[in-house]
Chains A and B, each alone.
Chain A
Amino acid sequence: DTGVSQNPRHKITKRGQNVTFRCDPISEHNRLYWYRQTLGQGPEFLTYFQNEAQLEKSRLLSDRFSAERPKGSFSTLEIQRTEQGDSAMYLCASSYDWGGEAFFGQGTRLTVV
């Protein structure tokens, strides 16, 4: 297993378009997390899954954002009708459900123009 994988690494999109990001966690990990990081700031929690169940969503996750983990393996994060304020690094992490460190992917950098 090569760690947490995120695709694409970079995405430039026009305002109003929809975008989808994918995260492949470490295969034995049943917890998966999405965070968003804007320039000069620390990451902010968006949502997390245990297996296929979405256990918590941040208030930051407006109704334009949706995340899924249909088979408890990979996850997708979709942003509809993108706005310039959505420009950020979107980070995915995974861990075991009994605790331990979270392992992060390289992130997807979204630029909305």
Chain B
Amino acid sequence: AQSVAQPEDQVNVAEGNPLTVKCTYSVSGNPYLFWYVQYPNRGLQFLLKYITGDNLVKGSYGFEAEFNKSQTSFHLKKPSALVSDSALYFCAVRDTGTASKLTFGTGTRLQVTL
């Protein structure tokens, strides 16, 4: 079975500071990993994905994530946070050896303040 853990319900950061949203995963094979963002009353929007290759993945809006196989982590990062980044962030995983089912974490609310 595949699973995702987002250990922080909320992350608070001041605008201009770097941010990290944590994610760890568990799969039986090799993972496909994703980050999505959800703004209030909206659907989930795709931010970035790791499929294979370079462990540092760059995505939309200046976000990036680093795949760490030994730590089974895929933390989301941004060098300089914006107030407009405040939203709910979901990490998701899919086992490459199984069908296309995506399993999501419980989400982390990012609050960026002035």
A and B bind:
no
Q: Which B residues have a C-beta under 8 Å from some C-beta of A?
A: none
Q: Which A residues have a C-beta under 8 Å from some C-beta of B?
A: none
